[in-house]
Amino acid sequence: MNDRGSGGASSPGAKGAPAAEVAHLEARFLSRLEYLNTIGIALSQERDIDKLLETILVAAKNLTLADGGTLYRLVDDRLRFEIVRNDSLGISMGGTSGNPVPFYPIPLHDKDGNPNRTMIAAYAALNNRTVNIADAYTEEGFDFSGTRNFDKRTGYRSTSFLTVPMKNHEGEIIGVLQLLNAIDPKSRRVVPFSEEDGRLAESLASQAAIALTNRLLIQQLEVLFESLIELINTAIDDKSPYTGGHCKRVPTLTMMLAEAAHAAGEGPLGEFRMTDKDRYELKIAGLLHDCGKITTPVHVVDKATKLQTIYDRIGLLDTRFEALKREAEIAMLRGKIAAMQADDAASARRAEEDFEARVRQYDDDREFLRRTNIGGERMSPDDQARVSRIAQYSWTGPAGPERFLSRDEEANLNIPYGTLNAQEREIINHHIVATIKMLEALPWPRHLVNVPEYAGGHHERMDGKGYPRGLNRAQMSVQARVMGIADIFEALTAKDRPYKPGKTLSESLAILGKFKENGHIDPDLFDIFIKDQVYLRYAREFLDPEQIDVVDLAKIPGIRS
């Protein structure tokens, strides 16, 4: 065993060598250094962990002319096989190959805590030493039984080994790079790895360890960042169960529609393209698009009926109707008594008939107000006028005669559509202002700089009548327009709202089509939404079966023939 090389080929300036050979060796050495530098740059730019690990091993094989190699990562005191390559046997496992590595990890310590010094990879990691083996079949001190069994099964001969620990900038071992069977470029025979091979492999391992550590750190920060976003959405969930699903579904639908626009290839959005960075940026914007709802009062978010605040005040109206009935009954009984004293049977009958008619009217009014309290798509002017007439009834409360409906109750019951009055709708709408303020206050890195614009634009309209900034279509990015459609369609089909059941596909698409015609949503994105059946893919994943009805596109407004 040689901890820093086994003799082999000498360095470029070896004494006694012919000038031509020296020149050749120097040129080869410089070429390898240039390759090493190029690989170092490539490693620093690679974002995908699997590709990064694969690049490290392939580069090490090329530098040392090795026939095979293995890259291990140190995880929980074990060296886990990540990438395995062998050119002669055509073996390609791990990385981008799609073939899993079937080998068990190599433990650095046994169950009693004793160091594993018999396995060469474990030894290199434990001792932070490069180990160069000229011939595994003659080397003593290491357990090569597994290697020999492998050779028996395959007919291969594992001879020379170069095993290099990978150490990050803090001096921690994070993996091991092991190369197998150096090939002489002239004779094509297996030879020992040279001292130069060892130095170059160590240099590559050092660069690779730093690149891998940096990528893992960035990955960990991204996971932490997304976990913090999930934390915000969980806080919103805990405030109200009616918004939690929305925060998860809108990003999914956003990405579905964005990918369909990306794949369009022709038409108005034929030039729209997204890189992986663009996709990640849009994903983050989708996850954060309603983060401002954390500031919205629960009683407004959860307002299921027009009279609901902390509780539904419709019960108070029931009590008042019963009071009106009792007052009517008392008036009727008094009338009957007076009629009987006057021996006027006709007046007594009229008193009973008037009472019965009044009770029927009160019951009818009570049911009307109950229906009105639920809210809906649109309340007619006649119904609003009827609410105002009922409001003028007089009943006797604790302080004497009172208006049947307070001004606040009358105003809420006359909400034209939905359950929110103007003030409450303004409070709800403020969540997007809060979202923009929160997101614009963050120091976004360059690849996420558009998150506030994407997330903050989903309540704008193409005709400039949206909020909070009144942007028009030309002032908005495609991504923000995508999110606007996703937000609306999710809200239409959502079955977890307190004020309405989830609509069917055909109902939702009909409303969305009208939104296209009136300048609310982007017309080109709506066309892609329909043409590529994005709505159907989303429905199959998130809607109840009874919501997925047969859609007759001929009946959907805004669809181009």
Q: Does one domain contain both 337 and 193? A: no
Q: Are residues 158 and 32 in the same domain?
A: yes
Look at residue 182 and tell me if it is in a domain. Answer: yes
Helices of type H across 65-190? 120-127, 145-154
Specify the DSSP class assigned to residue 91.
E
- Domain stop point among 399, 419, 439: 419
Report phi then psi at 292, rounded to 5.
Answer: -65, -15
Question: Do the Cβ atoms of 278 and 259 come closer than 8 Å?
Answer: no
Q: How confident is the model at residue 9 (pLDDT cuts 50, 70, 90)?
A: very low
**36 and 177 co-located in one domain:** yes
Query: Do residues 29 and 80 both lie within one domain?
Result: yes
pLDDT digits (tens, 9 = 90+) for 419-435: 777 787 787 778 888 89
Do 383 and 525 lie in one domain? The reply is no
- 185-224 pLDDT tens trace: 889 999 999 998 898 888 888 877 787 887 888 888 888 9
Classify residue 209: in a domain, yes or no. Answer: yes
For residue 173, list its beta bridge partners.
Answer: 167
Average pLDDT value for residue range 283-288: 93
* Burial 490-517, CB ≥16 within 10 A → b, else e: bbbbbeebebbebbbbbebbbbbbebbe
Structure tokens at 216: 């893992």
Q: Domain total for the chain?
A: 3
Q: In the prediction, which pLDDT does 426 show?
A: 81
Task: State the CATH number of the domain containing residue 132.
Answer: 3.30.450.40
Domain that holds residue 464: 240-293+427-555
Domain identity same for 344 and 475: no
In a domain, 3, yes or no: no
- Whether the predicted pLDDT of 22 surpasses 60: no
Confidence band of 360 (pLDDT split at 50, 70, 90): very high
Same domain for 194 and 101? yes
Cβ atoms 529, 260 nearer than 8 A: yes
Q: What are 384-396's pLDDT values in tens digits?
A: 999 999 999 998 8
**304 occurs within a structural domain:** no
The average pLDDT across 461-480 equals: 94
Span 107-132, average pLDDT: 94
Residue 148 lies in a domain: yes
* Least confident among 6-20, 126-140, 316-330, 535-549: 6-20
**Are 121 and 196 members of one domain?**
yes
11 three-class SS = coil
Cα–Cα distance between 294 and 434 in angstroms, integer?
A: 9
CB 385 within 8 A of CB 379: no
306, part of any domain: no
Both 446 and 541 in one domain: the answer is: yes
Distance CA(410)–CA(74), nearest Å, equals 69
In terms of domains, do 497 and 414 share one?
no
CA torsion angle 264 270 276 281 (round to 10): -100
C-alpha angle with apex 142: 138 to 144, nearest 5 degrees? Answer: 70
Residue 368 within a domain: yes
- Among 419, 442, 462, give the residue marking a domain's end: 419
- Using the 3D structure, point to which of 419, 439, 459 is the last residue of a domain: 419
As a whole number of Å, the CA-based R_g of the chain is 38
Mean pLDDT (the chain, rounded): 86
Give me the CATH number covering residue 262.
Answer: 1.10.3210.10
| CB-CB contact of 138 with 149 (8 Å) | no
Do residues 373 and 443 both lie within one domain?
A: no
Q: What percent of the chain has pLDDT over 70?
A: 88
DSSP SS3 for 323: helix
SS3 142: coil
Residue 229 lies in a domain: no
Do 62 and 197 lie in one domain? The reply is yes
* Residue 97 backbone dihedrals phi, psi, to 5 degrees: -70, -25
Q: Give percent of the chain with pLDDT exceeding 90.
A: 54
